[in-house]
Amino acid sequence: DSTIMDINEVIEKSYDKWTNGHLDTYSYLMILNTISGRTYNDIAQYPVYPWVLSNYHSKELDLNDSDSYRDFLYPIFAQDSETRENLKLKYESFEEDQKEFKYHSGSHYSNAGFVCYYLIRIKPFSQLAAEVQGEFFDTTDRLFFNIGAFYRVSEKYQELIPDIYTTPEILINLNKFYFGLNSEGNNIDNVCLPPWASHSPRLFCKILKKAIE
């Protein structure tokens, strides 16, 4: 009971600091991840950070425009009205004797595979990603190579990791791994970034970090 009280106290104090502007959002989310048992030391329980922006196509990005952000009223897998309606129908389609098993989405927003997916360009995660696929990298079309395209895929289930906000190196193929050509004939190398980041990983992370605040 005392442990629970201590945790509740930490949460309450952190929340007060955050809402009063004495703690930035990035740090507040890390505190929540830590309290939840998530850690950098276990890729199966890696910290989870949200997709904040939804605009990955414009030449310029207005952080004061609400249309630049995802809708936080709904989870990542329910960002558009058509999807929400389909999920609702799916949930309501469960038989009476399956009530306790009813769910909207059968996929989790974070797992070890997702972590290796984001960090495939840096060691030791590149080795881990290859081990999962039998000592080879996954099919090129399934690799992390375009942030905008991946956001559209992630609207089905997947959130981000904290590194995407702070570590531009994960977006650059510094180790010169050969990932191959995708189905469109493009060489998979550095992660393709949105126009508003001027194709600069450092600027991309800086803007993303600003957006989360």
Listing DSSP states for 18-53 in one string gives HHTTSS-HHHHHHHHHHHTT--TT-GGG---B---B
User: How far is Cα 179 from Cα 104, in angstroms, rounded to an integer?
Assistant: 35
Arithmetic mean of pLDDT over the chain: 91
pLDDT, one tens digit per residue, over 25-59 is 999 999 999 999 999 999 999 999 999 999 999 99
Structure token pair of residue 2: 């005392």
**pLDDT the model gives residue 154:** 59
pTM, full prediction: 0.88
User: How far is Cα 64 from Cα 46, in angstroms, rounded to an integer?
Assistant: 30
pLDDT, one tens digit per residue, over 75-101 is 888 888 888 999 899 888 888 777 778
**pLDDT the model gives residue 150:** 87
- Burial of 24 per CB tally in 10 Å (0-12, 13-18, 19+): middle
Q: Percent of the chain at pLDDT above 70?
A: 96
Structure token pair of residue 52: 């904040």
